[in-house]
Structure 1
Amino acid sequence: MDIKTAAALHRLRLASIPEALSFPALLIFGTGFRIAFDYDALVMPLGMLHGVLFVIYVVLLLDVWNRTKWPVKRVAFFFLLAILPFGGLYGDKVLKREEAAGVAAAQAREEGTVDA
């Protein structure tokens, strides 16, 4: 794995946490606020924010898929994690391990200790 692929994994990790927290924190809060105070103005902007975070996550996931050549099953797993509330937190944990392994491999290759 090259450093650009590790950087793509890192970007996906950075997007997974806000996306994972946006559903429960924003949408449930907005819906609860609407029910409690009969105030609908928060639901649309919070829903849009969640949608934007989801789209960013999917675009970054497609970038990682293009760079890593993951099987479709693995990409579908990370997509499913984006749909589940708090699923991206587990995805972040998995991606962190993979990113660390990729950076270590890239550094070893750069130092010449491993054949490319």
Structure 2
Amino acid sequence: MMKSFRSIALLEGISTLALYFFAMPMKYIAGDPIYVKNIGMAHGVLFMLYIAFAILNKNPQKWTLKEFAIICLASLFPFATFYIDKKYLQPKEV
């Protein structure tokens, strides 16, 4: 389940960047809102999956409430899910 969560986190991070740095400028500078509609829909679905997988992984990964909150809040900021992947989602060394 963690491997799936890592994939979703990566895609969610990419969709956030695409929305903020491509689709929104295309809407407000070029006047073409179709990118916001399409990328925004994909981002919304990935955001919901990200949060759902965070909830599903909270207990098996033994995340504290603080760690869980950080992981969930990371979905709101560009580049943050990439940090979360490095810090919390990679396989733990034995």
For the superposition of Structure 1 and Structure 2, which TM-score range results when normalised by the shorter chain?
0.7 to 0.9
Contact 2:27 2:33 in 1 (8 A): yes
Secondary structure (helix, strand or coil) at the match of 1:38 reads coil
Equivalent residue in structure 1 for 2:53, among 56, 60, 75: 60
TM-aligned CA deviation for residue 26 of structure 1: 2.7
Q: What TM-score do you get using the length of structure 2 for normalisation?
A: 0.84
Question: What RMSD, in angstroms, separates the aligned Cα atoms of the two structures?
Answer: 1.6
Contact 2:5 2:53 in 1 (8 A): yes
2:9 matches 1:16? yes
- Unmatched 5+ stretches in structure 2: none
- Unmatched 5+ stretches in structure 1: 1-7, 105-116
Larger Rg: 1
- Runs of 4+ residues over 4 Å off in structure 1: none
Q: What TM-score do you get using the length of structure 1 for normalisation?
A: 0.70
Partner of 1:86: 79
Secondary structure (helix, strand or coil) at the match of 1:37 reads coil
Query: What is the count of residue pairs matched by the alignment?
Result: 93
Please give the per-residue CA displacement for 1:15-72, whole angstroms capped at 9, x wherever unaligned: 1111112112234311111123212222112111111111111111111113233221
